[in-house]
Structure 1
Amino acid sequence: MKLKHLSTAMILATLPATGVFAAALDRSGQSISAFLQPGNYFEAGISVLDPDVAGKEAGTTATRRNIGDMGDDYYFPSAALKLQLTDKFSFGLLYDQPFGADAQYSGNNAFVASPSDPILGSLPITTGALGGTQGGTSVEVDSQNISMIFGFQPTENFNFYGGGVYQTIKGNVHLRGSAYSLYNGYDASIPEDGAAGWLAGAAFQIPEIALKASITYRSEIDHKINADETIALADSITANAGMLGSTIGQLVAAGQLTPAQAGAIQQTIGKAIAANQVEGQTKITTPQSVNLDFQTGIMANTVAFANVRWVNWKDFAIRPYKFGKVSEAVGGLIGRPNGFNLVEYSDDQWSVNAGVGRKLNDKWAGNVSVGWDSGAGNPVTTLGPTEGYWNVGLGVQYSPTPQTFIAGGVKYFWLGDAKAQTGAQAGSDQYVADFSDNNAIAYGLKLGYKF
């Protein structure tokens, strides 16, 4: 079975929408397949995701209102250049946007601010009484990676590679609504920060049967950022400390609070006011990952392919500095004396994509694929309330010349049902909303040139 001319590009380039939706903040899938193409090679692509993520208040939320679609559309580009410098040495530059988030709550629910939202469950004081806050919860996170890879091919069959990775990350988050209690009105702006990491891997191939296998490790990357944080209710509490003290005294006199409870609340408010004045550096560490890719010819002009990806989300967390200090101040009231994170995940992510590609003639090729993603735990953050997925995909590639191609792909995702919890609830069985029966559609386009 001679499949030497059924190149990897002919099949895998028809999958430009492979990694546009995954667990936690994972987006691109961080493929290095372009670097493993034969000869000199360039590609550029764009992927678009249109999610529909809706749910309903549940769990500890007092009401049971519907939550409209909170998943925003997003797109991201990618590009790669691979040069075969000699018979034994190669060089590559890969650009992608590996991690991100886009979400926006709207309507009338626990994730949209209302003047009647309480500031703390045990106090009959609303955000409206302290000046109020407006809008819906939203989050936007963007990242960019440039990977510079050097490869060594001691024989035709083996390729050992490694290199540096430069990564930038930025974002903003706005927490609104009664679900977030004291953090209703919290804003954080994370300015763009750059940091370096590395990757290493090895590949094995038998060109005569279109067999290729590779494993790639990517390191963690540490970012240290001076985030601009505002906790609107903490600011209002500071300005209205006298009114709060008087109200607490009235509740004690009416028998609605014991002196011990009142003392604990006043002590917590004092700590929160002090914590709200501090400034410090926020550390964000993007996770390590491993990609395993495999393809082999199964008959003339036909290959089977598979990708397995692991991402270490279990050790990932975001705790902006001021957010964390205030959480330590108020955490004792909810059994979290060490505070809590804005975002964290309970499990690592595993994802699998597999399919079959076929060269139809000298100009056309296509494929079908199926995919599965484990998610990163359930319950999961309200800023990304899905747990994994199943998907099916179709791809097609047209090659007007032997050196050039244009490829397109589409995937449909059945998103996993999830219970959404706030940072204060993370690590427990408590949650504030259910999200179920959701889906997404992804589209991709890629141009390639072999030279």
Structure 2
Amino acid sequence: MNKLTCTAITLATAGTVANAGGTELTNQSIAVLFEQGNYIEFSFGSVNPSVSGTQVGTIPPAITGSASGDLAEGLEYVGAALKFALTDDIDAAIIVDKPYGAEIVYPMGTGYFAGGSTATLRSTAISAIGRYKFTDNLSAYAGIRQQSLDAEAFIPFVAGWTGSTNTDQSFGYLVGAAYERPELAMRVALTYYSSISHDLETTETSPLGVGNTSIMEVNTPQAINLDFQSGVAPGTLVFGQVRWVDWSEFDISPADYGTLTGGQPLVAYEDDTITYTLGVGRQLTENWALSGFAVYEPGTGGFKSNLFPPDGRTAVGMGVTYTQDNFKLQAGLQHVWFGDGTTQIGGAPAGEFTDNTAVAFGMKAGFTF
């Protein structure tokens, strides 16, 4: 049973696909803290969405019925983590990941009003975490997170507006606690991630001026993860996660863009999201383990952003783990069905997006030393 501990949860997120707004790449897992001894891992993931829709209103010169074409580009990301058992009671870890990212490119020549629009969001986070074990069952952990963020966009249907930011470095934190019963392969971990505030120097070009600069505040959202797992039979583990993200506080509002649109943000979300993951892992042999899982994120309704129109998602996936001595290799594959979404211009429906999907793949290689 011990070989399945943490492994199944890791596999459930190995192919994590974008969550709310298409901007979240990972769920910022701290599972490496619970690996035995000293441990290092390297991870790779790719997300390949297929997102398209149809115009539902006449937005000159585009007309009703125009197809958007596939607007979501594939993304790849890499990560790494290093964990040390400093004493019997104290662990430390460093985690490098890319929590947020997006690459939106509306094709030209389709007749769709947003044709030619592009947007890119990039981030990197480094987390330094310490964990203290009060008993064999109870522990607490906390850490500092340094995050970089930058973005750029071109929105031709808003007077040919373009904007880009510098790369800003800022800090946040995480705190959490875990209860474990090793003899049952049971763990419940609750982790809080603070919001991180970025002051982005933004340069805009539009009819209001060429190269206008201002400082734009962007707060990446606070979040809470509840992770759980428990053995239910010899060699069988049930695992899952409930993740809340405070997306209603996330807002990208360049100054000149807001003036041109009457105060509308470039990207914003009206509601928070809650994502549910549930799965089962099974040890097949001494070296091989298999897991299957399902993910559900309910839609929130209302108009969605033109820069990522789907609303909610349902996904199924599977993962496999191979272990040999101090080496562990994990791979996961996930198929996603996005919920239908409607975009808007000036408060009126603009595009309908239905039957959109994505495929995500992830891989991790870990070594105990």
TM-score by length of 2: 0.94
Structure 1 365/47 Cα, relative in aligned 2: closer, same or farther at 3 Å?
A: same
Instruction: Give 1:43's aligned residue.
Output: 41
Q: Determine the structure 2 residue equivalent to 1:33.
A: 31
Match of 1:301 in 2: 235
8 A contact 2:197–2:218 mirrored in 1: yes
Distance 2:150 2:211 in 1: 23
The amino acid of 2:274's aligned partner reads W
Q: Cα deviation per residue 1:45-72 (whole Å; 9 max; x = unaligned)? A: 1111111111100145442211211110
Encode CA deviations 1:307-341: one digit per residue, 9 max, x unaligned: 110000112111112223444xxx3xxxxxxx221
- Alpha-carbon contact 1:143-1:168 (below 8 Å) kept: yes
Q: Which has the larger radius of gyration?
A: 1
* 1:18 CA drift (Å): 4.2
Which string of whole-angstrom CA distances, capped at 9 and with x for unpartnered residues, describes residues 371-422 of structure 1? 11124543110001111111110111111x2311111111111111100124
Structure 1 segment 156-195 matched on structure 2, within 5 A: 156-176=136-156, 180=157, 183-195=158-170
Partner of 2:79: 78
May I ask how many residue pairs the two structures share in their alignment? Answer: 364
What's 2:51 paired with?
53
Q: Is the 8 A contact 1:418 1:434 kept in 2?
A: yes
Query: Retained in 2: the 8 A contact 1:18–1:29?
Result: no
2:60 is the alignment partner of 1:137: no
CA deviation digits over 1:334-375, x for unaligned, max 9? xxxxx2211111110110111000111111001010111124
* Counterpart-to-counterpart distance in 2, 1:65 and 1:142: 30
CA distance, structure 2, for counterparts of residue 310 and residue 143 of structure 1: 20
Partner Cα distance (1:79, 1:375) in 2: 32
In the alignment, what sits opposite 2:342?
419
- Partner Cα separation in structure 1 for residue 120 and residue 301 of structure 2: 21
SS in 2 for 1:6: helix
Equivalent residue for 2:246, pick from 298, 307, 312? 312
Q: Give, as a single letter, the amino acid of the residue that structure 2 aligns with 1:408.
A: A
- Of residues 91, 107, 110 in structure 2, which corresponds to 1:108? 110
Opposite residue 35 of structure 1, the aligned amino acid is: L
Do 1:204 and 1:213's aligned partners in 2 also have CA atoms closer than 8 Å? yes
- Give the residue type in structure 2 aligned to 1:450: T
1:22 aligns with 2:2: no
Partner of 2:332: 409
3-state DSSP class of the match of 1:54? coil
CA deviations over 1:118-155 (Å, ceiling 9, x no partner): xxxxxxxxxxxxxxxxxx00111011111110111111
Identity %: 33
1:348 and 2:350 matched: no
Kindly report the root-mean-square deviation, in angstroms, between the aligned alpha carbons of the 2 structures.
Answer: 1.8
What is residue 215 of structure 2 aligned with on the other side? Answer: 281
Offset, 1:438: 0.8
Counterpart for residue 129 of structure 1? none
8 Å contact kept, 2:195–2:220: yes
> Which secondary structure state, in structure 2, belongs to the residue aligned with residue 322 of structure 1?
helix
After superposition, residues 89-108 of structure 1 pair within 5 angstroms as 89-106=90-107, 107-108=109-110
**C-alpha contact (below 8 Å) 1:345/1:376 kept by paired residues:** no
Contact 1:23 1:375 in 2 (8 A): no
Unaligned runs of 5+ in 1: 114-135, 236-275, 332-338
**Structure 2 residue aligned with 1:396:** 320
- Name the structure where helix makes up a greater proportion of residues: 1
d(CA) in 1 for partners of 2:15, 2:275: 11
Structure-2 change in CA distance of 1:309 and 1:13 (3 Å): closer
Q: Structure 2 vs 1, CA of residues 149 and 160 (structure 1 numbering), >3 Å: closer, same or farther?
A: same
The amino acid across from 1:80 in the alignment is A
Check 1:277–1:15 CA distance in 2 against 1; reply closer, same or farther (3 A cut).
Answer: closer
SS at match of 2:3: coil
Is 1:204 aligned to 2:179, yes or no? Answer: yes
What's 2:64 paired with? 63
Spell out the pairing of 1:179-258 with structure 2 (5 A cutoff).
180=157, 183-231=158-206, 233-234=207-208
Aligned to 1:440: 358
Rounded to whole Å, the distance in 2 between the matches of 1:6 and 1:406 is 12
Higher strand share: 2
Query: Would you say the 8 A contact 1:379–1:421 is kept in 2?
Result: yes
Moved more, 102-111 or 15-24: 15-24
Q: Which residue of 2 aligns with 1:259?
A: none
Is the contact made by 1:20 and 1:47 (CA closer than 8 Å) also made in structure 2?
A: no
Distance in 2 separating the partners of 1:46 and 1:383? 25
Q: Which moved more, 1:57-66 or 1:93-102?
A: 57-66
| Whole-angstrom distance in 2 between the partners of 1:56 and 1:277 | 34
Kindly indicate whether residue 9 of structure 2 is the aligned counterpart of residue 12 of structure 1: yes
